[in-house]
A and B are shown apart, each in its own frame.
Chain A
Amino acid sequence: MNLGYLALELRRVLREPGTLLFVIGFPGGFYLLEAVIFESQWPPQSAIDPGAVLLPAMAGWGVLISGMLVGARVVNEREAGWQRQLRLTPLTGSGYLLGKVAVGMLVSIPPPIVVALAAALFRDVRLDLGGWLFVTLLTTLGGTPFALLGLLIGQLGNKKNTQQIIIIGMLMLAIFGGIFIPLDALPPWFAYIGCATPSYWLTDLGRAGVEMGGDPMRAAAILLAWTVMLAGAVIWRYRHDSARN
C-alpha cells in the first residue's frame, strides 16, 4: 500500500464535517444517554452495572457506523470517475481497496476509546487491562466487516441511494445485533436473526471484556468469516465494475 495515497484518504475523511460527529459525538453521547435510561429500570440487586453492560454495545455501535460511513464514501469518487483516473496509475486494485479498508479501520479506532473514557469517567466502570482491550482495540479489529460492508455498498449503489441504504443497514444491524436493546429483552425470534448478523458477534466479542459474553474465540472466528466473505464480494464487485467497459 502506498503512504501518499493513504495519507490523502485519511485527510479527506477527517476533513468531512460529519466525521467528528460520528467518530466521537455519536458513540459517546449514545452511551451516556442509554446509561441514564437503563439506570432507572435496573434491578437494584443486579451484580453488574448498566454502565458496564452498555459499554461493549455502544463501542460496537461506534465502530459499526464509522466503518460503514467511511467505506460508503467510495461511491462519490466512483461516480465522479476518480477510480477511472486511478486505474491509470500504478496503484493496483487491491492496493486501492486495502487503502479504503485501512482508512475505515483507522477511523474506527477512536469511537470505542471515547465510549470507554465516558464509561470510566462518568459511570465509574472499572475493568482490568484485558477488559479494556476487548472493548476498545479488539472491538475495532472485530469491526473489519463493517468497513468492508460500507465499501461494498458504495461500490454497488449510486450517489442517491447509497446514503439511504447505509442508514437503513446501520439501523437494522444495530437493532438485530442487540446494540440498542439487549436481545434477551426482546422476543426470541430477534435472537435468531441476531445470530446471523456480524453486529451481534461484534458486541459478543466486546462483552467478553465485561465478563458477560460467550467464547470470544467463537465471536472472532465468525467475524473473520464475515471479513473473508465481504472481502471476496468487494473484490468481485471491483473487478466486475472495471470489466464494465
Chain B
Amino acid sequence: MDETFSSKTGRRDTAVRVQGLCKRYGEVHAVKGVDLAIEAGEVVALLGPNGAGKSTMVDMIVGLTKPDSGTVQVFGLPPRQAVLEGVIGAMLQEGALLDDATVTEMVGMVASLHKNPMPVRQALRKAGIEDLAGRRSTKLSQGQKQRVRFAVALVADPDLLLLDEPTAGMDVRRRHEFWHSMQEFTSSGRTVMFATHYLEEAEEFADRVVFLRDGRIVADGSVAQVRSLAAGRTLRATVAGVDEPAVRALPSVVNVEIRHDKVAVLSSDSDTTLRALLSRFPHARDVEVVGVGLDEAFLALTSRTRTSGGAGS
C-alpha cells in the first residue's frame, strides 16, 4: 500500500489511458478515434459543445458503454475491473436517487457495496450535506440532489472521480457551492475528470482542458493556455510593408495572420498589444479590436499545438 495517501491501486501511474477509442450509434459517429492519457493527480476538464461526444467518452471510461474499437484503462485496469475495485467514482448525467429512501440510506447502501468505503458521515460531510442525512430525496432541491449524488460517488473513496456535467441545471450560486465542496477532494491529490460546457468551470477548477468537438480532441492544453486564448481579442490593422517576426515579437501575441498588408493578431491582452503595435508601426491604419469566439480561441490553440509538435499528454 502506498502510504502517502490511501490510494487503492497503491500506484501513481496513469489514471486514465484511452487509445484509439471509437463509438458509433447507428449513423452517428459519437467518438472518432480518441487518444488521451491523464496522469494521477490531474484535474481535467472535458470541454465541448453539446453532442461533442463528452458523455459517450465518460460512459466508456466507466465501462457503461462498450467501445466499438479502442481500449480504456483506469489505473491499468479495464473499466469494469476498476469499478469492482472501487477505483472509480462517477456522477453521471440523469443519475438518479431513490424516491423512497433517505440520503443516509442511499449513501450507506452504496458504501456497503464497496470493499473499502469511506465512512458515510465523512462522505456526507465532504459533499456538504450532513444536515440532509435523514431527508428523503423527494424533499431535496436540485442543487441538493446533485450534492447527494456527489456523496454517492465519493463514498467509494475512489482514486478517480468522473463527473458528467455535474452542475447542469444549477444556478451560479449553487454551482459555486458545488465546486467548493469538490475542492477538498481534489486537494487530496485525487484524479478528477469532469465534462462541462461551462468554460468558467474549466478555467477555475481544472489544471488541464481537453476540448472535444465532433468526437475528436481538437485541443488539449493547460488552463493558462486556454484562459489566455479565451480572454483574447483579435486586433486587425492595415500596415504597409509589415513583416511577421516584428508582429510576433509584440507583447501578449498568441497568433498572427498576415495577408498582403492586412494583419490579424490574436492577443491575450489587447491593450498592451495595441499600444505596442501603434508605437512600433505608427503608420498602421483601419485598426479594429474584436472579441474572440470560443471556437476561434480553441482553433488557435489546436493549430499551435500542432506546430509545436503536439503538446498534448
Contacts and interface: CB of A to CB of B under 8 A. Distances in A.
Contacts of B100: 12, 15-16
A182 B29 CA distance: 59
B97 interface: yes
B115 A90 contact: yes
Given A2-B113, A245-B65, A80 B99 contact: yes
Contact of A8 (B62, B84, B99, B105): B105
Given A76-B99, A84-B96, A89 B108 contact: no
A23 B84 CA distance: 36
A5 B86 CA distance: 16
A162 to B, nearest CB: 15
Interface of B: 59, 62, 64-66, 83-86, 88-90, 92, 94-101, 105-106, 108-115, 149, 152-153, 156
Contacts of B83: 87-90
Top 6 nearest A-B pairs (CB, nearest first) are A4-B112, A80-B96, A81-B96, A89-B113, A8-B109, A82-B96
A154 B106 CA distance: 21
Contact of B108 (A4, A12, A88, A245): A4
- The binding surface of chain A is classed by DSSP as helix
B95 A91 contact: no
Given A12-B100, A82-B97, A90-B86, A2 B112 contact: yes
Residue among B65, B98, B111 with max Cβ neighbours from chain A (10 Å): B98
20 contacts: A2-B113, A3-B112, A4-B109, A5-B112, A5-B113, A11-B101, A12-B100, A15-B100, A80-B97, A80-B98, A81-B95, A81-B96, A82-B98, A86-B113, A88-B62, A90-B84, A90-B85, A90-B86, A90-B114, A90-B115
Nearest to A87: B64
Contacts of A77: 96, 98
Contact of A84 (B86, B95, B115, B153): B95
Nearest to B156: A89
Contacts of B65: 245
A41 interface: no
A86 B101 CA distance: 15
Nearest to A4: B112
A84 B90 CA distance: 11
Contacts of A2: 112-113
A84 B63 CA distance: 11
B224 to A, nearest CB: 33
A3 B84 CA distance: 17
A89 B84 CA distance: 7
A12 B109 CA distance: 12
Contacts of A46: none
Contacts of A245: 59, 64-65
Interface in A54-107: 76-77, 80-82, 84-91
A4 B96 CA distance: 19
Given A77-B98, A80-B99, A88 B90 contact: yes
Contacts of B98: 12, 77, 80, 82
A89 B112 CA distance: 10
Nearest to A15: B100
Interface in A1-45: 2-5, 7-8, 11-12, 15-16
Contacts of B89: 88
B100 to A, nearest CB: 5
Given A12-B98, A90-B114, A90-B115, A85 B109 contact: no
B101 A12 contact: yes
Residue among B65, B86, B113, B149 with max Cβ neighbours from chain A (10 Å): B113
Contact of B95 (A4, A7, A85): A85
B96 A11 contact: no
Given A82-B98, A88-B64, A11 B105 contact: yes
Contacts of B92: 81, 84-85, 88
B282 to A, nearest CB: 61
Contacts of A3: 112
B270 to A, nearest CB: 45
